Amino acid sequence: MIQKRIKSIIEEIQYDINNDYSTKLTFEEVKEIVESQFKVIKDTIKEFNIDDTNTHKDLRLPYLGSIYVAPSRIKYKRIHGKKKD
């Protein structure tokens, strides 16, 4: 079962896309698009290597904003390492 808040966000995106681009995307199609964006974020974050600055990427999603890590945070993680459970 999809959460009420997530459902309303997907419905809002569906409404905006269908009106702005004169399309007729279904709820399920929009849901798959949104989920695929989160999969890209997840995969991109997994590729990040704290010791290799070339793997650092900023992400921007129109409805969610920017997702990035400040260089100072990367430096802090390099010095102090990962949090231990």
pLDDT, average across residues 2-17: 91
Q: How confident is the model at residue 85 (pLDDT cuts 50, 70, 90)?
A: very low
**DSSP assignments along 26-44, one per residue:** -HHHHHHHHHHHHHHHHHH
Q: How far is 26 from 15, CA to CA, in rounded Å?
A: 10
Model confidence over 32-83: pLDDT tens digits?
988 888 888 888 778 777 677 777 776 776 666 656 666 676 666 667 766 5
The single residue listed with the structure tokens 């990035």 is 68
3-state secondary structure of 66: strand
State the pTM of this model: 0.58
